[in-house]
Chain A
Amino acid sequence: MSKNNKGAVRPKLEQEGFFGRLSYFTSRAFANLRQNVFVSAVTVGTIALALLIASLFLLVYVNLDGMAEGWSDKVQVTAYFDQEPAPLAVAALKGRVQAIPGTSKVLFVSQAEAEKRLRSRLKGQESLLEGITPDVLPASLEIRLDREHRDTDSVAAYVKKLKQIQGISEVQYGEEWVKRFNSFMNLFRLMGALLGSFLTITVLFIVSNTIKLTIYARKDELELLGLVGATRFFIKAPFLIEGVLQGAAGAVISLLALLGCYFAFLKNAGDFLGINPASAGLSFLPATHLAGVVLGGVLLGFIGSATSLKRFINV
C-alpha cells in the first residue's frame, strides 16, 4: 500500500512543444464546434448576416464611388494660345505642361483642328459657319489631370502654374462644375463614412453580443476547466481558435450570399436603375475588399471571443 502519492507523471506527447499545443488547441476547437453545433451555427449565421449587410453596403458604395470617379474624368483644363505656336514650339510647350505635377495627358488642338471639330458638331447647320475661317478659333492644349489632382484646390493651383507658361493667354476648366462636383464627392464620402461607421458599430454590437451569449451558454465548461487546473491561456486558446474559425466561416458564407445576390439582382441593376448606362451593370467587389471582408470576419470572431472570455474566466 503506497502512502506517497505524488500525482501522475505526464507521459510524453505525440508532438511536444508549440506545434503539439497548437495541434491540441485546434483539434479541441473543432471538437467544441462539433459538440456545440447549434450554438456555433447561431454564431456563424449572425456573423454571416452581419457581414452580408456590411458587404452589400460596401458593394454599392464601391460602385457609386467608381461611378462618381468616372465623372471626374470630365475635369479638363484647356489652355488657349494668343497665336498658334510653330510646330517645333508645340512639342516644347507640351513638355513644359507635362512637367507640371498632376498632368496626365496633353493634347494639342490646332486652329484647323478646332475648326474641323466645330464643323462636325454643327453638322446640318453649316450655314451658321459661313464666313468663319480657322484663324478665328484659337489653338489650345487640352489637359487631363491625375485623379489625385482633380479636387478644387489642386485644379486652381494647377491652373496658376499653367498661366505662367509664356504664350498661354487664357485657361478654362469649368470652375463651377469642378466645385460642385467636389462638394458632391465630399458629401458622398462623408455619408458613406457615417453610414459605414454606424453599420460597423451595429455589426460589432450584434456579433459581440451573440458571441457573449454563446460563451455564456458554456460558462460551466469555462468554470470547470479553471477548477481542474487549466491556465487562462489553456482555457482561452481553443475558444479563440473557435472564434477565428466561426468568423472566417461567417465571412465566406456572407461573400457567397453576396455573390448570389449579385448574380441574381445586382449585376444588371445599373441598366435597370439607369444610374450607370455606360457600363454593363454593377461590378463585384475587388479582391482586396473580399480579403478585407474575410479578415474582418476573422477579427470579429477573435476579438468578440477574447472580450467575452475575459468576463467568464476567473482563473
Chain B
Amino acid sequence: MIQMHNVFLSYQPESSALSDINLKIPKGDFVFLTGQSGAGKSTLLKLIYADLTPTRGQVLIDGVNLTRLSRSQVPLLRRSIGVVFQDYKLLPNRTVLENVAITLEVLGWGKRDIGKKVYHILKRMGIEDKINATPLRLSGGEQQRVALARALVNDPKILVADEPTGNLDDENKEAILSIFKEANNRGTTVVVATHDRRVIENSHRRVIRLDKGAIVDTPDLFVGQAATEATMLEVPDVQE
C-alpha cells in the first residue's frame, strides 16, 4: 500500500511543487495520476520510488516510512518498484537484452536465468525479435515496451509510469495499457501519471487529479477514508 500524509515538497524556498498531499493507494490498485504539465505528477511519482524526499510529511510504502529510510535501504525498496520513465532511460550502447537484464543483474541473477526471463518478458511485450537490437534502432512504441519490460521483468510489487503513452499512436497506447492491466491482474499496484484524457476514459480506473501541486476533487482518496476500486472520479477536462 502507498500512503502519503501531509506531504509538502519544495524545490525552491518560495514555490512548492507539492502541497499537503494526502492519499492512500491500496495494494493491487490501478490509479491514474493526472493534471496539467507542472502539476506535480512526476514529483509525486519520484516520492514513491524515493528519488525525492518530502520537505515535510510522510510517505509510506507497505508500512515502511520512506522519510526514515537510510541511504543503504533505498536500493532494497527500489527493487520492489518498477519504474517506466518519461524519457525511457534506455542505454543506447546496450542491446534490448542488456537493457532489460539490468534489473535482474542488480538482483544478482545468473546469466542463463536472465536470458530466459528476459526472453519471456520480451515475448509478452511482442518484441522478442528485437532482443539483440540497440534502442536507437527501435520505434517509439518498441522503446516504450523495452522500458516496460525492464520495469516488469522482476515482477515488482508496484509499477509506476510517467507519461507512458506520451509519444505513441493509438494502437501502441492500447497495447501498452493492456500490459499495465495484465501486470495489475498479476497483483502489481499500478500508478500511471498521464495527461492523456482518452487513456483515462478508456481504462475505467481510479483517478487522482493534481493541480499546482495539490490534489483536487478527490475527497475519497484522503487518508482515513478507504478507497475502493469502485470509486471513480469524473475524468477531468485537461488541456494539453
Contact = CB atoms under 8 A, between A and B. Distances in A.
Contacts of A5: 155-157, 186-188
B110 A11 contact: yes
A49 to B, nearest CB: 25
A229 B110 contact: no
B155 A7 contact: yes
Interface size class of A (residues with CB under 8 A): 20 to 34
A225 B28 CA distance: 26
Nearest to B95: A35
A31 B97 CA distance: 13
- A interface majority secondary structure: loop
B112 A7 contact: no
Nearest to A38: B93
A174 B72 CA distance: 70
Contact of B110 (A12, A36, A220, A231): A12
Interface stretch (B78-86, B138-146, B219-227): B78-86
Contact of B79 (A3, A21, A229): A229
Interface string A219-238: 01101111111110010000
A269 B109 CA distance: 59
- B interface majority secondary structure: loop
Contact of B83 (A1, A6, A7, A227): A227
A35 B91 CA distance: 11
B75 A229 contact: yes
A223 B188 CA distance: 24
Interface in B102-127: 102-113, 117
Contact of A13 (B98, B109, B117): B109
A231 B75 contact: yes
Contacts of B188: 5
A176 interface: no
Contact of A229 (B28, B76, B89, B98): B76
Contacts, number: 88
B118 to A, nearest CB: 12
A14 to B, nearest CB: 5
A228 B89 CA distance: 11
Nearest to B153: A8
Nearest to B87: A220
A14 B110 contact: yes
A28 B98 CA distance: 11
Contacts of B98: 31
Nearest to A234: B106
Contacts of B117: 8
A10 B109 contact: yes
Given A3-B187, A221-B91, A229-B106, A8 B155 contact: yes
A10 B107 CA distance: 7
Contacts of B72: 231
B75 A315 contact: yes
A37 to B, nearest CB: 9
A4 B185 CA distance: 10
A6 B110 contact: no
Contacts of A224: 89, 91, 102
Interface of A: 1-8, 10-14, 21, 24, 28, 31, 35-36, 220-221, 223-231, 234, 315
Interface of B: 28, 49, 51, 71-72, 74-80, 83, 85, 89, 91, 93-94, 98, 102-113, 117, 150, 153-157, 185-188
6 contacts: A3-B28, A5-B156, A7-B155, A10-B107, A230-B75, A315-B74
